[in-house]
Amino acid sequence: MTLSLAYLSGGLISYDGFHQTSTGSAILANLIIQFINENYGTSIPQADLWPFLFNGNTSPGGYPVGGAAKSNSIDETIEWAAAVYTPETMKG
């Protein structure tokens, strides 16, 4: 699979030619997480790229069906954040 910045066919830039796609955002997020982990001694988990790269279907807005389009409740979001942002992952 090849991704590029090519307009309309590259997979990283949206059809408006300016904003990144959800795939581009996920890849950028992983690069930022990698930088933070390497430079601050954290172990923040990277985004799962599977739904962005291999789902083969997206919902309106470009989010993968069954992936980022899922709407979590506030309690689910808090539970997720508490599991991800622990003292162990945030120590620096």
**Can you tell me which residue has the tokens 């790229």?**
49
Cα-Cα-Cα-Cα dihedral of 18, 27, 69, 46, to 10°? Answer: -150
pTM here is: 0.58
Give, for all 92 residues of the chain, the pLDDT tens digit. Answer: 788 888 778 888 888 888 888 888 889 999 999 999 999 999 999 988 887 777 654 544 444 444 444 566 778 777 877 777 777 776 65
